[in-house]
Amino acid sequence: MNMQRGFASFNGIVMVAWTCLALTCAAQAARPSKPNVIFILADDLGYGDTGVTWQSARAEGLPRISTPNLDRLAREGAVMPNHYCAAPVCAPSRASILTGRVQGECSLRDNCFDRAFSEANTLGTVMRNAGYATWAVGKWGIAGGGESKQPVMSHPLDKGFDYFYGFLDHMAGHTYYHYDGHVRNAFMGITENRTNATESAKGIYSTDLFTAKAKQLVSEHLAREKEKPFFLYLAVNTVHGSGICGDDLKCRKTLHVPGRPYPREGVSWPLKPEPKAKRNTWIDPAYANLPQMAARYATAVTRLDDAIGDIMRHLVRLGIDRDTMIIFTSDNGPADEYGADPRTFASAGPFDGFKRDVYEGGMRVPAFVRWPAKIAPGTVERAPSQSHAWMNFLVAAAEGRYEPMKSLVYTQYEFPWGGRAEAFKEFRARKGEVRGLQQMVRVGDWVALRVRMREGGAKVRLYNVAKDPFQTNDLADDPEQRSRLAEMSAILDARLRP
């Protein structure tokens, strides 16, 4: 496959000038509206896993994943093809999203699963302070407890959320079927606020479970206090690898799939359990001829797409579609583990690197924003942005000072030659993992990075990722780039933290 050609094709298809729909009523302009917000965070979903970012550009004859609802969400709003996660693995990435702090400044960094974070301000607190009802549904993974064996100090209810339904320990995300008890030292149960709620989840595929809960929360909120806006942080565990199961599900196969088709009418709370014999067996007919693991991976992604479509239709039925912002993104690049092979569907898109890499494939993630009241269909924002800045973006929208995507751009550093440091990452992998201690910074179209810093491989590499997205041509030794390399190397040095 010619990745460069496909990337150029994508650019040609979606390159549209940014526009913003103005309010036509002076009274509305004097009274800034606060959009409802649904922030959907996928798990290990790569830049290349959606149709609009890459799958639709794949050559004929290659296997493709179908994501018509995500593609529609993107077409009807804004696409950010240069959006970066904060870190190339889930826990630090989620901590940066929730606290609004870049890695290197966030209290939770590196490969520290289940460790609590200390920041007081979160998406929950700032949105609650802005007058929102705040809910967290799905995967948390940064509360304390679990693998960290530390006290639970950052439970969602202690970090600005009025309600929580999901799982606290990150290892519970290694199954899509949740049960009470401990399996391989991981708590598999579901919690509602601070109470075990596993009975409500037994025998239900987690993508369906969390979607039904999200729809229930929205419906009940509108019936109770429709004048108050809501903020829903919906963190599904799709498409993270799986294989850990409860007592009544035999996990001979990793990459869990549902036990039945997605209901045409959508899911509704409470869901009936799948029959035991059917759980983890259903393959979407579109992928029936693919190898087993590829079919399971594609089925899981399309199941998430079905859920997105279900949520969008629900908003229309409730009459709040126009005034609800939906944000969709992923915590990091695609994983090469638990039976998933990112090469099968080119899940990293046109980039090199996977989860745990600071190369583009580990860091560049799909990012779409749909808000019919404000964002024009077909919008593409090409300025580099990164996920810790979603807090600024949402606060601006909640305060009625929304400016098209500007608050997503990281501008910590300015340079005489006109560049801005628009993305920064630092990540220490676990002992023995390939890249080791890594750093990356993007300025304009340029990326400087270094890997294996503790093993003597600390040479700073320099790439123009607009012209060379796969990062094959290191320009660090180009005399014309000497000044640029020095400036960007200085950022890496200055930002390095113990």
Average pLDDT, stretch 204-221?
Answer: 98
Say if residue 14's pLDDT is above 60: no
Which tokens belong to 115?
């460790």
Helix (H, G, I), strand (E, B) or coil at 268: coil
pLDDT in tens, 252-310: 567 999 999 999 999 999 999 999 889 999 999 999 999 999 999 999 999 999 999 99
Which comes out higher in pLDDT, residue 418 or 451?
451
Which tokens belong to 357?
């890499």
Q: How far apart are the first and last CA of the chain?
A: 41
pLDDT, position 31: 38
Which of 12-16, 39-43, 125-129, 440-444 shows the lowest mean pLDDT across its residues?
12-16
Smallest CA-to-CA distance from 426 within 388, 467, 372, 374 is with 388
Average pLDDT, stretch 423-448?
Answer: 77
Say if residue 8's pLDDT is above 50: no
Which comes out higher in pLDDT, residue 456 or 205?
205
pLDDT in tens, 342-351: 999 999 999 9
pLDDT, position 34: 92
Where b means 16+ CB within 10 Å and e means fewer, 431-457 reads eeeebbbbbbbbbbebbbbbbebeeee
Question: Which segments within 131-266 are labelled E, that is strand?
Answer: 133-139, 163-167, 182-183, 186-187, 191-192, 195-196, 230-235
Q: What percent of the chain has pLDDT over 90?
A: 64
Q: What is the location of CATH 3.40.720.10 in the chain? A: 32-408
Which tokens belong to 147?
């693998």
Of 32-41, 233-242, 384-393, highest mean pLDDT: 233-242
Instruction: For tokens 């990326």, name the residue.
Output: 447
pLDDT, position 252: 57
pLDDT, position 385: 86
Where b means 16+ CB within 10 Å and e means fewer, 130-169 reads bebbbbbbbbbbbbbbbbbeeebebbbeebbbbbbbbbbb
pLDDT in tens, 307-344: 999 999 999 999 999 999 999 999 999 999 888 899 99
Q: What is the location of CATH 3.30.1120.10 in the chain? A: 421-495
d(CA 406, CA 383): 9
Smallest CA-to-CA distance from 169 within 246, 243, 115 is with 115
d(CA 180, CA 198): 6
Angle between helices 292-318 and 68-75 (to 10 degrees): 50
Which comes out higher in pLDDT, residue 463 or 21?
463
Helix (H, G, I), strand (E, B) or coil at 342: coil
CB–CB of 115/389 below 8 Å?
no
d(CA 177, CA 256): 8
pLDDT, position 437: 81
Helix (H) or strand (E) holding 390, with range, is helix 390-398
CA quadruple 252, 356, 392, 50: dihedral sign: negative
For the domain made up of 421-495, the CATH class stated in words is: alpha beta
d(CA 40, CA 328): 5
d(CA 152, CA 114): 9
Which of 10-24, 174-188, 336-350, 394-408 shows the lowest mean pLDDT across its residues?
10-24
Say if residue 19's pLDDT is above 80: no
Please give the mean pLDDT across all residues of the chain.
86
Which tokens belong to 431?
């002992």
Smallest CA-to-CA distance from 39 within 132, 158, 153 is with 132
Q: Which CATH number fits domain 32-408: 3.40.720.10, 3.40.50.1000, 3.40.1010.10, 3.40.50.620?
A: 3.40.720.10
CA quadruple 176, 155, 160, 401: dihedral sign: negative
pLDDT, position 82: 92
Beta-carbon contacts of 118 under 8 Å, excluding residues fewer than 6 positions away, are: 107, 153, 154
Say if residue 173's pLDDT is above 80: yes
Angle between helices 206-225 and 292-318 (to 10 degrees): 10
Average pLDDT, stretch 8-17?
Answer: 37
Which comes out higher in pLDDT, residue 288 or 245?
288
Which comes out higher in pLDDT, residue 438 or 158?
158
Residue type, position 169, single letter: D
Say if residue 227's pLDDT is above 90: yes
pTM (global) more than 0.75: yes
Residue type, position 202, single letter: K
pLDDT, position 430: 58
Query: Would you place residue 433 in the very low, low, confident or very high pLDDT band (cuts 50, 70, 90)?
Result: low
d(CA 312, CA 316): 7
pLDDT in tens, 57-69: 999 999 999 999 9
Which comes out higher in pLDDT, residue 398 or 73?
73
Beta-carbon contacts of 378 under 8 Å, excluding residues fewer than 6 positions away, are: 14, 16, 75
Helix (H, G, I), strand (E, B) or coil at 332: coil
Helix (H, G, I), strand (E, B) or coil at 398: helix
Say if residue 163's pLDDT is above 60: yes
d(CA 255, CA 294): 9
Query: Would you place residue 30 in the very low, low, confident or very high pLDDT band (cuts 50, 70, 90)?
Result: very low
pLDDT, position 187: 59
pLDDT, position 15: 33
